[in-house]
Amino acid sequence: MGLADRMIRLLWAVGGEGVASRILAAHWRLLPSDDPLGRALRGRLVEALRAELPGHDAAIREAVLVDELTLLGPAERQRPSRAAVLGIVRALPGAGTGM
């Protein structure tokens, strides 16, 4: 699944088509070259989503979790390493780094 598909799925899961369209139109930018997996872009989109839909933090965290799981390979999904689990926890909104 490509980055654009992942971000559309994340936004749509929380806010539906209208919210996804507005946020993508306003916040989609090119990725920094040091962020090939799109976590910086996802962070910007999540912040916009949180601003547009206050009180939807649980749904946003769930959508970020689903996105993080898509980044794991099949073997890592079956038996994630400690580092993978910690990386996922750090990526969740409200978990310290605040994506």
| pLDDT reported for residue 94 | 77
What's the whole-number average pLDDT of the chain? 87
For the chain, the 3-state helix, strand and coil shares in percent, each to the nearest 5, are: 70, 0, 30
pLDDT in tens, 10-31: 999 999 999 999 998 888 876 6
Distance CA 52, CA 49 (A): 5
pLDDT in tens, 48-68: 999 999 999 999 999 999 999
Find, among 43, 40, 21, 20, the residue nearest to 31 by Cα: 40
Query: How many other C-beta atoms lie within 10 A of the C-beta of residue 76?
Result: 14
| pLDDT reported for residue 93 | 86
